[in-house]
Amino acid sequence: MTDKNDQKQQDLNAEHKAKMQQQQAEVRERVRAAKEKRGTLIVITGNGKGKSTSGFGTITRALGYDLKTAVVQYVKGTWPCGERDLLQKMGVPFHVMGTGFTWDTQDREKDIAAAKDAWEASKKFLQDPDIHVLLLDELTYMLTYEYLDLDEVLEALANRPENMTVVVTGRGAHPRLVELADTVSEVQAVKHAFEAGIKARKGVDW
């Protein structure tokens, strides 16, 4: 009985090893095949939680290697934000649109002016070849509300310095932004605590 079990375990181990060797060869081949070295345009969209935290995660990843970063926050400037407080303390350049939620301000002209200011700051960052990662948090809404000119934004993103990676977050990414991007992830809302009546938490949700 035990011998039979031992044999079965040995067979499973051998099978696993063969599979892993095959997988390793495939991964190595794909890593070898990727030759291009440049920054990318990453879009994190969808209705689930995790878009801005992913963008800020990439900023902190770059900071871990002492690389230069910058952040522009569209829309939620009047909200507290843990990452903003931390990164500003670390000297990361930060531009905040600062009008709060569209449904609170109810002033389209003011929102557009603030969006344009934030875009001017973004354009400056997009021309700085020393920036390794630039986060344009919640930029997608500026394009869907047509607060910013889509062609101008796409052109500036496309013409950024070669080594700069830009992370754009926000729901409902425009199809042309998706087309231009190198990496696009859609965060799906399988569940969200808020739907069950659980309050958003400091240090977790903002």
Instruction: List residues binding Mg ion (CB under 5 A).
Output: 51-52
* Separation of alpha carbons 30 and 48, rounded Å: 30
Query: Which span sits near ligand ATP by CB under 6 A: 47-55, 91-99, 128-136, 143-151?
Result: 47-55
Q: Which of 7, 47, 78, 163 binds ligand ATP (CB under 6 A)?
A: 47
Partnered with residue 43 across adjacent β-strands are 168, 184
Q: Which does 189 bind (CB under 5 to 8 A by kind): ligand ATP, Mg ion, none?
A: ligand ATP
The answer to whether the beta carbons of residues 49 and 206 sit under 8 Å apart is no
Q: Which does 124 bind (CB under 5 to 8 A by kind): ligand ATP, Mg ion, none?
A: none
Q: Which is nearer to Mg ion, 161 or 206 (CB)?
A: 206
Coil, strand or helix at 93? coil
Q: Is 49 in the site for ligand ATP (CB under 6 A)?
A: yes
Number of residues counted as binding ligand ATP (CB under 6 A)? 16
The answer to whether the beta carbons of residues 142 and 119 sit under 8 Å apart is yes
Partnered with residue 44 across adjacent β-strands are 169, 185
Q: Which is nearer to Mg ion, 109 or 195 (CB)?
A: 195
Q: Which of 51, 84, 95, 174 binds ligand ATP (CB under 6 A)?
A: 51
The answer to whether the beta carbons of residues 132 and 58 sit under 8 Å apart is no
* Separation of alpha carbons 136 and 69, rounded Å: 11
Q: Which of 52, 58, 99, 140 binds ligand ATP (CB under 6 A)?
A: 52
Euclidean distance between the first and the last CA atom of the chain, given in angstroms as a whole number: 58
Q: Which is nearer to Mg ion, 22 or 183 (CB)?
A: 183
Q: Which does 49 bind (CB under 5 to 8 A by kind): ligand ATP, Mg ion, none?
A: ligand ATP
Q: Which is nearer to Mg ion, 50 or 93 (CB)?
A: 50
Closest CA to 134 of 144, 142, 143, 124: 124
Partnered with residue 183 across adjacent β-strands are 42
Q: Is 205 in the site for ligand ATP (CB under 6 A)?
A: yes
Please name the residue that has the structure tokens 């994190």.
44
Q: Which residues bind ligand ATP (CB under 6 A)?
A: 47-53, 169, 171, 187, 189, 192, 194, 200, 205-206
